[in-house]
Chain A
């Protein structure tokens, strides 16, 4: 267990999202609680030739990137950077830290990204093939690098502390949140801007995931395609977007009278050491991650009252994750929500967006429903919150993320003890 006092407890004081379910917290949370899916025919590019031609996209009008960057920046930021920096600025503003005279060298940034600016890479490679090496943009590297958001956000917010990006596929968002908490726990930072972003609704990425058989092929009915834990689930639905939080030490937040929303109390991670894309069928790798999170928090399984599952809606993930939950909770698995039914799978942003959802779950005392859960799969014998939101009883929320490569990350978020 990590020793905690007011100086090194990690609390959340600001939120920001740019997602298919909304680009401000109110719209986003209302949509997530409604259980209404967001998938649609792809509009980012002409996807008519693709095997899977639907996804969950961020609405450009709602994003309103012109409010976050000038025209020069917009042209030079890959879409993942636009989404990420905008969500980061929202979280920073929401925290009220701006202009408070915080110690900039103790203000850190930890981001999570799966790939980075893959659309930029696709475009520049086409230019290279068409026009040759002298036509390649000098902005290609800073635009496509996976750590671009970490750099830009630190410049914009003036955060000169620890600064890095984690690249662990679909686990990266939860890794970013957890690593941010560790920076507070170990006294390295007073403030951490933490989150994830991904913009994988691109021709190459959509083609590749479709070839892997990872995506739902429900082209005729996109709104019913992402259906975590359901018997008829057939793959995940690609989503783009970003989620960010501001985390602070409790003492720092208290001293400046911040609006303290929740506390990150536990963080676990593990590697499956099994297969580069398939999870361990018995869920034991994921279970070790959850157990480590409980150990760092000094909590028992019975202290957890809700799980925001990774729940991608792929046959393998939802089955393995269910078994993993049984490893830890036995036959008393708390109510589980799979919010990707609404949002789709935001890849590296998923864990960060779900940390935001877990924080809102605690703030408003309500468990969001799992969209499209109609009939449990034969391998699913746990209590799935579906249909309507359900009351939340005030315990700890567990949020899981698992990624290709066998990366597992689990975060525990609790109401703040005064």
Chain B
């Protein structure tokens, strides 16, 4: 799966789950500060990514993810 494809899926997920404008979802966008996601939003978002990409994202690996780009990187490393 291409990185661009993963980014688009994650962007759509952010629009759906976090209720944010598509334009705000960039690689640099920070979940907490820029997309107004609290800790529960992030848990739900991770669940959403697990389902969309059919991967498992353990808490230990999710912990360091602050931006959309980092989320795309994490998912990229799981899907081949």
A interface residues (Cβ-Cβ under 8 A, vs B): 70-73, 75, 134-135, 137-139, 142
Across the interface, do A72 and B40 meet the contact criterion of CB distance under 8 Å? no
Contacts of B40 in A (CB 8 A): 138-139, 142
Chain A residues whose CB sits within 8 angstroms of the CB of B17 once the complex forms: 72, 75
Please tell me if the beta carbons of A72 and B43 are within 8 angstroms of each other in the complex. Answer: no
Does B18 sit within 8 A of A, measured CB to CB? yes
B18, A134: Cβ atoms under 8 Å?
Answer: no
Question: Which range holds the interface residue count of chain B?
Answer: under 10
Bound: A134/B56 CA distance, A: 10
Q: How far is the CB of B63 from chain A (nearest CB, A)?
A: 16
Alpha-carbon distance A242/B18, docked complex (angstroms): 27
- Asked if B44 and A137 sit within 8 Å, CB to CB, the answer is yes
Task: Tell me if B47 is interfacial: C-beta within 8 Å of chain A.
Answer: yes
Query: Contact at A134–B47, with CB atoms within 8 Å?
Result: yes
Name the B residues within 8 Å of A135 (CB-CB).
Answer: 47
Q: Which residue of A lies closest to B36 (CB)?
A: A72
What residues of B have a CB within 8 angstroms of the CB of A139 in the complex?
40, 44
- Report the separation of the CA atoms of residues A135 and B17 in the bound assembly, to the nearest whole angstrom: 15
Residues of A within 8 A of B44 (CB): 137-139
Determine whether the beta carbon of A71 is less than 8 Å from that of B43.
Answer: no
**B interface with A by C-beta (< 8 Å):** 17-19, 40-41, 43-44, 47, 50
Interface of A is mostly: helix
User: In the assembly, what is the distance between CA of A119 and CA of B40, in Å?
Assistant: 20
Pick the contact of B19: A72, A134, A137 (CB < 8 A). Answer: A72
B interface, over-half SS: helix
A139 and B40 alpha carbons, distance in the complex (Å): 7
Least CB distance from B74 to A in Å reads 17
Closest Cβ–Cβ distance, residue A92 to chain B (whole Å): 23
How far is A331 from B30 in the complex, measured between Cα atoms in Å? Answer: 72
User: Provided the pairs A138-B40, A139-B40 are in contact, do residues A70 and B47 lie with their beta carbons within 8 angstroms?
Assistant: no
3 nearest A-B residue pairs (beta carbon): A72-B19, A138-B43, A138-B40
Q: Which residue of B lies closest to A131 (CB)?
A: B51
10 residue pairs of the A-B complex, CB under 8 angstroms, read A71-B19, A72-B17, A72-B18, A73-B19, A75-B17, A134-B47, A135-B47, A138-B40, A138-B47, A142-B40
When chains A and B are docked, how far (Å) is the Cα of A75 from the Cα of B18? Answer: 10
Give complex CA distance A142, B39 in Å.
13
Q: How far is the CA of A134 from the CA of B41 in the complex (A)?
A: 15
Distance, CA A314 to CA B17, complexed state (A): 44
Instruction: Give the distance in Å from the alpha carbon of A134 to the alpha carbon of B40 in the complex.
Output: 14
The docked-state distance in angstroms from the alpha carbon of A114 to that of B12 is 37
| Among B17, B18, B19, B44, residue most surrounded by chain A Cβ atoms (within 10 Å) | B19
| Chain A residues with CB below 8 A from B41, complex form | 72
- Name the residue in B17, B40, B41, B50 with the highest tally of chain A Cβ atoms < 10 Å from its Cβ: B40
**Cα distance A138–B42 when bound, in Å?**
9
Known: A72-B19, A138-B43. 12 other contacts (CB 8 A): A70-B19, A71-B19, A72-B17, A72-B41, A73-B19, A134-B47, A135-B47, A137-B44, A138-B40, A138-B44, A139-B40, A142-B40
Chain B residues with CB below 8 A from A138, complex form: 40, 43-44, 47
Distance (whole angstroms) from the CB of A137 to the closest CB of chain B? 6
CA distance A70 to B19 in the complex (A): 8
Contacts of B47 in A (CB 8 A): 134-135, 137-138
Q: A73 to B38: give the CA distance in the assembly, Å.
A: 13
**B49 → chain A closest CB, angstroms:** 13
Q: In chain B, what residue has the closest Cβ to A141?
A: B40
A70 surroundings in chain B (CB, below 8 A)? 19
Task: Please measure, in the bound complex, the distance between the C-alpha atom of A137 and the C-alpha atom of B51, giving whole angstroms.
Answer: 13
Q: Tell me the smallest distance from the CB of A245 to a CB of chain B, in Å.
A: 31
* B54: min CB distance to chain A, Å: 13
The CA of A72 and the CA of B19, in the complex, are separated in Å by: 5
CB-CB under 8 A from A75, the residues of chain B are 17
Residue of A with least CB distance to B50: A134
* Shortest Cβ distance from residue B37 to the other chain A in the assembled complex, whole angstroms: 10
When chains A and B are docked, how far (Å) is the Cα of A75 from the Cα of B17?
9
A284 to B19, CA, bound (A): 53
A142 CA to B40 CA in the complex, in Å? 10
Q: In the assembled complex, which residues on chain A have CB atoms less than 8 Å from the CB atom of B50?
A: 134
Q: What is the distance, in angstroms, from B14's C-beta to the closest C-beta of chain A? A: 11
A135 to B40, CA, bound (A): 14
Determine how close the nearest CB of chain B comes to the CB of A141; give it in whole angstroms: 9
| Shortest beta-carbon distance from A135 to chain B in Å | 7
